[in-house]
Amino acid sequence: MEQDSLTLHGDGISATVVGQGAELVSLRDAEGTELLWQAGPAWRRHSPVLFPIVGRLKGDQLRYRGQNYPMTQHGFARDRRFDWTEQGPSSCTLVLTDDAETRIHYPFAFRLAISYSLASRRLGVTFEVTNTGHEMLPASIGAHPAFNWPLLPELPKEAYRLTFADNEPAPIRRLKDGLVLPTPQPTPVEGKTLALSERLFDDDAVILDRPTSTSVRYAAGRGPAIEMSWQGFNELGIWSKPGGAPFLCIEPWHGIASPIDFDGDFADKPGVMLIEPGAKRMLSYRIGIGQEP
């Protein structure tokens, strides 16, 4: 039977990946401290891959050339078993391709390859979306890693903050019933800093639909620190479960939930990539592990 999980080892870091959803399920530092949320009752996932949509579609229907296809929130990749194409001591690659089941929901030919690689105190993740068909491939993709919040159990949640590489003055977007509200809202980011609290997520995710930064640091005054950086993604979601949960998701996206008033073709939806036949799109993010003094 094909191995369903693989633990990668690097200098000062280890990571475990499973074939189901090609999901990262563990991320530990040199001391063995688990940094990734362990899929408790509040939310049963760790770091799902969002494909071929990010967020929800209106009516949970993908509309394409006059046809409707059922598509649940964040797409189907997170619930599909990927094939391992590489398994090494510090890297691996998993692949999902279209089949009869995916075409019920998404009438396109595709190949999605996800690679994980460890370097010194850093995990690199690459998404490669290839159009293996003969027509334009509309797709979105996103990462959804959930980190423990707090990272040190003895610290209060309010000790943590997100510090962006650049000032983030642009308005944010919010959701209602999973769809994007038409009116942007003032950002809760002050300069480069977003103070974290449970109340921040009373209205669901905080969405930066045009972030200036391509990296952010998640840390308190002491203990582990996480630096996330990304390439090829246009949006950033920040989420924890409304009402309070012991995790914080930092989510680079290429795509966004449907606007409440959008009734058009999926290929015209805001945030969708359009990939030519035979072409591919590569996007990547990194999780660096540090330590606050």
Q: Could you read off the pLDDT of 190-203 as tens digits, one per residue?
A: 999 999 999 999 99
Residue-level pLDDT at 293? 79
Question: Average of pLDDT values for 98-107?
Answer: 98
Question: Average of pLDDT values for 107-114?
Answer: 98
Question: Average of pLDDT values for 150-178?
Answer: 97
**Half-sphere exposure in the Cβ direction for 277 (13 Å, CA):** 3
* Interval 268-278: pLDDT, tens: 999 999 999 99
With 70 as the cut, is the pLDDT of residue 3 above it?
no
Cα–Cα distance for residue pair 113/282, rounded to 1 Å: 9
Cα–Cα distance for residue pair 47/237, rounded to 1 Å: 13
Give the residue carrying structure tokens 């959930």. Answer: 146
Paired tokens of 48: 């799902």
Paired tokens of 108: 């396109």
With 50 as the cut, is the pLDDT of residue 1 above it?
no
* Interval 58-95: pLDDT, tens: 999 999 999 999 999 999 999 999 999 999 999 999 99
Let me know: does 21 contact 83? Beta carbons within 8 Å.
no
With 70 as the cut, is the pLDDT of residue 34 above it?
yes
Residue-level pLDDT at 279? 98
Residue-level pLDDT at 45? 98
Question: Average of pLDDT values for 282-291?
Answer: 97
Residue type at 10?
G
Cα–Cα distance for residue pair 27/15, rounded to 1 Å: 5
Q: What percent of the chain has pLDDT over 70?
A: 99
With 90 as the cut, is the pLDDT of residue 130 above it?
yes
Q: What is the mean pLDDT of the chain?
A: 97
Query: Which DSSP letter does residue 259 get?
Result: B
